[in-house]
Structure 1
Amino acid sequence: MTLAQHLLPTTVVGSYPQPEWLVDRAMLSKSVPRTRMQAMWRVDGEHLEEAQDDATIVAIRDMERAGIDIVTDGEIRRESYSNRFATALGGIDTDNPAIIVARTGQQTSVPRVVGQIRRIRPVELRDMEFLRRNTDRAAKITLPGPFTMSQQAKNEFYEDDEALAMAFAAAVNDEAHDLQRAGADVIQLDEPWVRNNPELARRHAVKAINRALDGITVPTVVHLCFGYAAVVPGSTKPAGYPFLAELADTTAQQISIEAAQPKLDLGALKDLSAKKIMLGVLDLGDPAVESADVIADRIRHGLKYVAADRLVVAPDCGMKYMPRATAFGKLKAMCEAAAKVRGEIS
């Protein structure tokens, strides 16, 4: 499958809303789980896979109907963007998670690393095969990035953070090669935690990302954001990333950024002139569906900093926590806006 040949192709960051009949959305809304949250699923184990398949088809069709050029599987089978992959690896004690306490006092259950991190089996391979069978559009699949996974776990085995991140990177790389062989047109790493701990990220995040992408020949993306709009209020989001220019040294061809809700200063993109930019133009903290005109203005603003042939149009972040009708409306308006601006510059 070839990627969209026209300017300003549209995509999603990854997730799409899971239906209420499949998951307990009230339970889901309370956290972004690091360990497994099996109680979230409303369908029993015997029928869960079939139910997830059906919901995935719904997500794919919504993206297609909205006009998205590069679709995903909506991450429908995941409890969070990272925990399904991270907890499937060898070296993780899934029965006895650790509790870490944030500076705010919030307690979070996280995986405990008690042995060598290794990929025991493919985790998302069936997801990619299912997506490939069910769309004729370009298909993207996402993986949690190695630096982010290393920051979402309690290290009780490796000598330091870098060794842990590099072990996660090797596991991600094994998975990415399987996903490429299964027909992925784009592979994306989600690395939001590089902005949580930029000093540590400067030491080894780029090294870990490049190890995770080693040998991958399809287009690759690194996504970073300030957190889901449903979890992190827009008023607390800064207008700039503390770790962004450093991503110029990654082998990823694209960098995906949240820009609409935090009203990001796009001047920082000058440091990424060799990369394509997946620009967030949907404010997922706004419960209203923005008009195509509003979104078109955001795209035009992006074009002041990024050439049209280097700009990919996307939401700010995953849409997992949104009402489905709102998510669909926003995607449809985004695709209409991209078509409008495309017509102005082609």
Structure 2
Amino acid sequence: MKLINKIIPTTVVGSYPAVKSKGLKSFLDPYRQALETAVGDQIKSGIDIISTGQVRGDMITTLTSQIPGIRDQKVKGVIQPPLKPMTAEDTKYAVSRHNKVKAMLAGPSTISHALKIDTPLYRSRDELILDLAQIIAKEALNLESLGIAIFQIDEPILSTGIADMGTAYQAVSAITGALRVPTCIHVCGDIGKVIDSIIKMPVDIIDLEFSCNPENLETVSKKEFSGKQIGFGAVDSTSPEIDTVDEIKARIEKGIEIFGPEKLLIDPDCGLRMHKRDVAFKKLKNMVEAAGEVRRNLNE
């Protein structure tokens, strides 16, 4: 699977700081300017595979606020797919600006554990997860039809040990089995206790963080990922300090030692929403520069 015609391409995990509109434009769509800024900054920084920036809010409530059966983060009845796509308009804009776009949605397990089940119609959280998977699968198919390059499922809950990994596998299968585009699962945190289950997930790319959690390097170095590619978190998304080019290069080079250059997609550990715009932009720009220097060294 080759996503782009270069080794160690750069991408993002998802979110970007939201720069809201002002004046009349804000009444029409208060987040339109944020979307345009996020997409424009990613393109300007040189990212190979961009996102929408997920600027309309956190990754869970932007979906649950649109799903019938959920109100105020409580499950009130059997959930149903929304009548119209939830994230298509922003994705359509990103695709119009760049030929390689990664779409991402919060995964069913992570969404479920953020909700209170306030109805007897769900006997267990696992039942809710599988229903959520059907809704996410429908949304993913809508995004695929717009021309995205990758579809990513965000499942940070999986590293905590709280979620049932068997149910998570079923849910991910229900989503990725319906898609033709390459698929990815993003799991942040320490993956030491769940790595074997994550490797088995039916996806093409496994995206992990290695800057905030360098111990993950030791964990993955002992594992076989077969044909899966690795989304390699090489920028610390938790720190407001701007990672230097040399710091990012050193992290990428460690990834190459373990996986080889052909398997890697370089990205931040996680989303950058919590940072100021200039910090997020510089982190991405330095990441692109570092990947470029490593790439040139490999070609020499």
* Secondary structure of the structure 1 residue equivalent to 2:31: helix
Equivalent in 187, 192, 195 of residue 156 of structure 2: 192
Distance 1:10 1:115, change over 3 A: same
Code of the residue aligned with 1:218 in structure 2: it is V
SS in 2 for 1:221: strand
Over 3 Å counting, the alpha-carbon distance change for 1:49 and 1:177 in structure 2 is: farther
From 60, 72, 90, give the equivalent of 1:82.
60
SS in 2 for 1:304: helix
Distance 1:337 1:243 in 2: 30
CA distance in 2, matches of 1:174, 1:49: 28
Instruction: Report how far residue 293 of structure 1 moved.
Output: 1.2
1:170 aligned partner, one-letter code: Q
Quick one: distance in 2 between partners of 1:138 and 1:48? 30
Q: Does 1:338 align with 2:291?
A: yes
One of 189, 203, 208 as aligned partner of 1:257: 208
Runs of 4+ in 1 over 6 A off after TM superposition: none
Structure 1 residue runs of 5 or longer lacking an equivalent are 23-41, 98-110, 227-237
AA of the residue aligned to 2:55: I
- Per the alignment, in what secondary structure is the counterpart of residue 115 of structure 1? coil
**Percent of matched pairs sharing the same residue:** 28
State the secondary structure of the residue aligned to 1:319.
coil
Partner of 1:59: 38
Q: What is the correspondence of 1:7-18 to structure 2 with a 5 Å cutoff?
A: 7-18=7-18
Is contact 2:17–2:275 with CA below 8 Å preserved after alignment? yes
Deviates more, 1:47-56 or 1:326-335: 47-56
Equivalent position amino acid for 2:179 in 1: I
Question: What SS does the aligned partner of 1:117 have?
Answer: coil
What does the per-residue CA deviation read over 1:137-162, in whole Å, with 9 as the maximum and x for residues that have no partner?
30111111011111111123311121
- Tell me the CA shift for residue 278 of structure 1: 0.4
Equivalences for 1:203-242 in 2 at 5 Å? Answer: 203-226=166-189, 238=190, 240-242=191-193
- Which of 225, 236, 241 matches 1:272? 225
Letter in 2 for 1:312: L
**Secondary structure at 1:279's aligned position in 2?**
strand
Q: For residue 204 of structure 2, what is the amino acid of its counterpart?
A: Q
Q: Give yes or no for contact 1:245–1:272 (8 Å, CA) kept in 2.
A: no
1:302 aligns to 2:265 (yes or no): no
1:91 aligns with 2:87: no
Which residue among 123, 129, 143 is the counterpart of 1:165?
129
SS at match of 1:336: helix
Query: After superposition, what is the alpha-carbon deviation per residue over 1:86-139, rounded to whole angstroms, capped at 9, x for unaligned?
Result: 2211211x2xx3xxxxxxxxxxxxx11121222122101112112112x13301
CA 1:315/1:123 → structure 2, altered by over 3 Å: closer, same or farther? same
Give the aligned CA root-mean-square deviation in angstroms: 1.9
- What SS is found at the alignment partner of 1:204? helix
**8 Å Cα contact 1:225/1:316 also seen in 2:** yes
Partner of 2:269 in structure 1?
316
> 1:69 — aligned with what?
48
- Per-residue CA deviation, residues 5-37 of structure 1 (Å, 9 max, x unaligned), is 100000110000112x45xxxxxxxxxxxxxxx
The one-character-per-residue Cα deviations of 1:194-232 (angstroms, maximum 9, x if unpaired) are 12234x422311111111222201111101113xxxxxx
Aligned length: 293
Q: Offset of 1:339 from its aligned partner?
A: 0.6
Match of 1:247 in 2: 198
TM-score (norm 1): 0.80
> Would you say the 8 A contact 1:186–1:218 is kept in 2?
yes
* Contact 1:258–1:316 (CA under 8 A) maintained in structure 2: yes
Pair 1:122-2:85 in alignment: yes
Superposed displacement of residue 48, structure 1: 4.6
User: Is this contact kept in 2: 1:245–1:268, CA < 8 A?
Assistant: no
- Contact between 2:192 and 2:216, CA under 8 Å: does it hold in 1? no
2:79 counterpart SS class: strand
Verify: 1:152 aligned to 2:105, yes or no. no
Distance 2:146 2:286 in 1: 31
Of the candidates 108, 118, 139, which is equivalent to residue 101 of structure 2?
139
CA distance in 1 between partners of 2:103 and 2:27 (Å): 21
**1:43 offset after TM fit, Å?**
8.0
- Is 1:5 the counterpart of 2:8? The answer is no
